Amino acid sequence: MEARPIPDRPPLVTALFALGGIIAWAAAVYAAPADGPWHEGFEGPNATWRPAGADLEYRVEVQGRYRGGAHTGQSSEQIRVIAANGSYIYFSHPVPPSRITSELAPSVWLKADRPGLQILGRIVLPNLIDPRTRQPVAVYVRGTSYAQVGIWEQLRIENVPRELQHQVWVLNRQFAREVDTRGAYMDRIWLNVYGGPGTTNVAIDDLEVSGVVEAGQQSESPDPERRNPDSASRDPQDREPIGERGAARPIWNAGLTSASPLLHEVKLDGSVLLVDGHPFFPRILRYQGEPLDLVLKSGFNAIRLIQPPPPELLTDAERLGLWIICPPPVWASSSAAGNQTRLAPIGSAYDIVLAWHLGEG
What are the residues whose beta carbons fall under 8 Å from the beta carbon of 321, sequence distance 6 or more? 14, 16, 170, 252, 253, 296, 301
List the CATH code of the domain at 38-238.
Answer: 2.60.120.260
pTM of the model: 0.55
| pLDDT band for position 343 (cuts 50, 70, 90) | confident
14 and 168 in contact (C-beta within 8 Å)? no
Q: Where in the chain is the domain with CATH 2.60.120.260?
A: 38-238
The candidate with the shortest Cα–Cα distance to 142, out of 117, 179, 124, is: 117
Q: In the chain, what's the furthest Cα-to-Cα distance?
A: 84
Determine the pLDDT at residue 178. Answer: 81
- For residue 125, the surrounding DSSP H or E stretch is strand 118-130
Instruction: Name the percent of the chain lying above pLDDT 70.
Output: 72
Mean pLDDT value across the chain: 75
Phi, psi of 136 (to 5 degrees): -60, 145
* Cβ count within 10 A of residue 48: 15
When comparing pLDDT for 83 and 250, which is higher? Answer: 83
- Segment 279-294 shows an average pLDDT of 88
Condensed to tens digits (0 to 9), the pLDDT of residues 3-34 reads 443 333 323 222 322 222 222 222 222 333 44
User: In this structure, what DSSP letter does residue 233 have?
Assistant: G
Condensed to tens digits (0 to 9), the pLDDT of residues 107-155 reads 999 999 999 999 999 999 998 887 777 888 899 999 999 999 999 999 9
Tell me if residue 200 falls in helix, strand or coil: strand
Angle at alpha carbon of residue 44, lines to 40 and 50, rounded to 5°: 65
